[in-house]
Structure 1
C-alpha cells in the first residue's frame, strides 16, 4: 500500500482544510487534535517528526545551562511557540525570555519582542526550515540573538548569530565545537561534550 493510501483520509478522520489565505497564528490554539509541536509557517501547518536522542539531549543541555547561568530576571524555556505575525508561529527548541513575560500556566506562546535568544537544533527532515526559513523570520521580527545547533560526530556544534538592526539580518559571531563561551546576550559557558553525560541520581 502506498504512503498516501495508508495515511490519507478515511471514514474515521477528516483532515483539517485550510481556510482561504491559510491558517493564522491564533488557529494553533483552536484547532482540535493537532500533533504536539505543530508550527505555523507562512500560513501552513508544519508537523514535527519524532525527535532524535541527540535533539532531545541537546535541548536539555542548553536549557539547563542557560537557566543556571541566566540573570534572575531571565529564564530559559523549551519548545514554546513565538507568534511572529498573523501567519507565522514557529517553535524554537529553546528560548530565553524575561520572567515577566509569563502570562500564566495556560500560556502557549511568546511575543517576538519578549524573546532575547532563540535556539534551533537542526533536524534532518527540516534542514531548509532550520537553517534558512526560521532564522530569517526571527531576524525580521527583531529577535536579537539566534543559535543554530548541528550534530557532528555525536556532539553539538553551535553557530552563534547576532542581529544587525540596520538590515534585520543575522550576522555570524562564532562557531563553537567543544566549549561554548559568549558574553551576549549574557555571559554563558557550556561544555558541549557534556551532552552524553548523565547526572548522578540523588
Structure 2
C-alpha cells in the first residue's frame, strides 16, 4: 500500500487507515467530500426510497457505495442500482462497473465539475448504461433530473430527458418520481 508517483490505487481505499467517510478516488487522487447540504441529503433519500420501491425484484438500490472503475478510479455515486447478485456480503465496499444499471450523482457546490463532467465521462467509458445528474432548481429549490443513456458505439452518454417536478421513464425500468416530494417523509 502507498502512494506511488502515479497516485493511489482503487484497492488502497480499503487499506488507508483513518480516511474520512465517503472518500473517493479520481485519477489516482483522493477526493474528500464536504458536509452534505439538506437538499443533497433529502434528494438522495427520495431517490433511494422510490427506486427501491419501484425496482424489479432482481435489482437492488444502495446509497453512497464506490464503483471500482479501474485501478485509479473509485468514485462514489450518491445512488446505485444493480442486480442482487452483485452483492457479495456485508463487508463489501465497492461494485464492479459492469454490474451497475444506474448511477446517480446529486450535484453540490464542491462536486459540480466532477459530477457534470468527470464522473459521467468515466461511467460511460466503463459501460454504465444509465446515468442521472440531479441539480437543485434555482427558483423552487426542487431537484431537476438530467437523464442520460449510454451509446455503446461511442461509449458516451446522450441526454434523453430533463425532468422538473415529476420524473417518468421506462428505462432502465418503469420509474415515476414526484420530485416535489423531496421534503416529504416517505409514505406521507
Which TM bucket (shorter chain)?
Answer: over 0.9
Change (3 A) 1:65 1:200: closer
Q: Residue 23 in 1 paired to residue 8 in 2? A: yes
1:117-170 CA distances to partner (integer Å, 9 max, x unpaired)?
Answer: 000000101211010000000000000000000001310000000000000000
Query: Aligned partners of 1:32 and 1:131: how far apart in 2?
Result: 30
1:165 aligns with 2:166: no
Aligned to 2:168: 181
| TM-score, normalization by structure 2 | 0.96
Given candidates 126, 143, 147, the residue that maps to 1:156 is: 143
Deviation at 1:200, TM superposition (A): 6.7
1:89 aligned partner: 74
* SS in structure 1 at match of 2:76: coil
Match of 1:117 among 89, 98, 102: 102
Quote how far apart the aligned CAs of 1:81 are: 0.1
- Measured in 2, the distance between the counterparts of 1:142 and 1:100 equals 18
Distance 2:82 2:165 in 1: 26
Distance (whole Å) between structure 1 residues aligned to residue 187 and residue 8 of structure 2:
45
Kindly report structure 1 stretches of 4+ aligned residues shifted beyond 4 Å.
none
Q: Which structure: larger Rg?
A: 1
Contact 2:49 2:186 in 1 (8 A): no
Unaligned runs of 5+ in 2: none
RMSD: 1.4
Report the Cα distance in structure 1 between the residues aligned to 2:165 and 2:33, rounded to whole angstroms: 28
**Residue correspondence of structure 1 range 40-119 to structure 2 within 5 A:** 40-119=25-104
Distance 2:168 2:187 in 1: 25
Residues in 2 aligned to 1:106 and 1:99: alpha-carbon distance in whole angstroms: 15
1:144 corresponds to which residue? 129
SS of the residue 2:136 aligns to = strand
| CA deviation string 1:52-107 (max 9, x = no partner) | 00000000000110000000000110000000000000000000010111100000
TM-score w.r.t. the length of structure 1 is 0.90
CA drift at 1:199: 4.1
Residues 1:149 and 1:200: Cα distance change in structure 2 (over 3 Å): closer
